Amino acid sequence: MNIKILGTGCPRCKTLEKLTREVVKQNGIVATITKVEDIVEIMKYGVMTTPALVVDEKVTIQGRIPSTDEIKRVLIK
């Protein structure tokens, strides 16, 4: 599984990255997590508000910080 955290480095983006890494570790999910901070790359996903969570090239959450339970549901389905 490829996971990307889209965000320019703001506190909300860092929080989403931290929560996602925790969920992956706690649930034994095999994944590569990448932080994308380049605004041009972020715009390629059609994301207008960050942070955003991209799983296998599909934007799953954007513009808010989800709960760890929501992140887990997105990653396990």
Query: Catalytic site residues?
Result: 10, 13
Cβ atoms of 42 and 6 within 8 Å: the answer is yes
Across the strands, what pairs with 32?
2
Per the listing, tokens 């989800």 go with 66
Strands 2-6 and 58-62: unpaired
